[in-house]
Chains A and B, each alone.
Chain A
């Protein structure tokens, strides 16, 4: 039986189209994926992301342990700071990508819904030192409120000054009179927050946010097209246990100078010799040809040089965009590649990501 999030009944009431996703019954869309996408870019969209997993690491050695299992460096984190990171295999490939929250006395790893059980087992199997590992995924509700109007709307539900929460920082604040963990993070390229609390509280927050005319619910469809416009990876599509961090373009979260972590030796070698392929973004030159996961990529002479891992029509740019892996010689921006779409090899140009550059996200 697929799981339901605490907000499931609310999605039904709003007329959402529900689809199974990573073991959960999730809203794909409420009205139209493109409308919801554009609304998030212009105003604010609210996503039920309660399906995401939360794994808690406590104990005297928790910092060393998190540093050992992840590729980024959690020792750089202050209390209440957040970091994008990855769980890595010995081969330097990706068990999962995740957010690491450093809280007062613990670390919370926010992981992909599809990987909750795998990650929990993986982390337990690599346990080192004095740590206590628990999986609280099914007790936590989560909403992502994303868009240029996110702050002003959420501000109406709290006395805390949200402008004090900086990009990739978190705070425990009262929302509607009850404590929640709120971080200025997201998966859309827009300014916004992710809110974690219990099932009952998350329902109240959802209801309250829905009352603001600038906030509309947005489903998984828009979540996917928004992240794609930013060039963000989707686990299971763009990255997995067969892709290493370097070729995936995630060197920025790979701290090879750290003393020791799983996959470090392999990643040092890959870094030294250079990856054989690269994850790139590309724009298809012919309208109407949408690249999709699994489509083949060719060079001018018809040799296969790679494969598409994500693709869609960009609702903001109105051109077909995609992410894929290509042989190392084809990774430069400006390179012309050919994607086989509906039996035709269609020209596409490798471009720098993000595709969409106008997002309201406040990096400072």
Chain B
């Protein structure tokens, strides 16, 4: 199970990477994609959509189940991963890279303190 050290994680199995201090790139973790099984469709948010932390920002339809992706931060969606429309399996193949879901411009930087480190996330999934 891949858990890169340079990313932050949520209890809902999303990962977050902060670019230029106020842009959050988000996706789902390797653990999440493995639990989901083959991803067959991703419902992406509209660009410019305003989201609150904890609100559903995308949903992932997989063979076994469907899962909501909750926004780990509050802010505005500024870009979505268009490649997922043609190849949703990128989430399975490369969850931390080509399988990213969207970028959000962060409106409340304090929320960034709430995330789990790679070490803490590793512990969390060991318990599941």
A274 CB to nearest chain B CB (Å) = 35
B125 CB to nearest chain A CB (Å) = 14
Q: How far is the CA of A342 from the CA of B60 in the complex (A)?
A: 11
Q: Please, what's the 1-or-0 string for A252-295, where 1 marks a CB less than 8 Å from any CB in chain B?
A: 00000000000000000000000000000000000111101000
Interface size on B, residues (CB 8 A): 14
Chain A: which residue is nearest B63 at the CB level? Answer: A33
Report whether A34 and B38 are in contact in the complex, using a CB–CB cutoff of 8 Å: yes
A83 on the interface (CB 8 Å rule)? no
If A32-B92, A288-B41 touch, whether A17 touches B63 (CB-CB below 8 Å) is no
Q: How far is the CA of A225 from the CA of B63 in the complex (A)?
A: 8
B64 on the interface (CB 8 Å rule)? yes
Give the dominant DSSP class at B's interface. mixed
B43 on the interface (CB 8 Å rule)? yes
Q: How far is the CA of A174 from the CA of B114 in the complex (A)?
A: 64
- On chain B, the residues within 8 Å of A313 by CB distance are 40-41, 61, 63
B107 on the interface (CB 8 Å rule)? no
Chain A: which residue is nearest B43 at the CB level? Answer: A288
> Quick one: which of A33, A221, A225, A288 contacts B61, CB cutoff 8 A?
A288
A310 on the interface (CB 8 Å rule)? no
A interface residue numbers (CB < 8 A to B): 17, 28-29, 32-34, 221, 225, 287-290, 292, 312-313, 342
B interface residue numbers (CB < 8 A to A): 34, 37-38, 40-41, 43, 59, 61, 63-66, 89, 92
Q: Which 7 A-B pairs have the closest CB atoms?
A: A288-B41, A313-B40, A33-B63, A290-B61, A34-B38, A33-B38, A32-B38
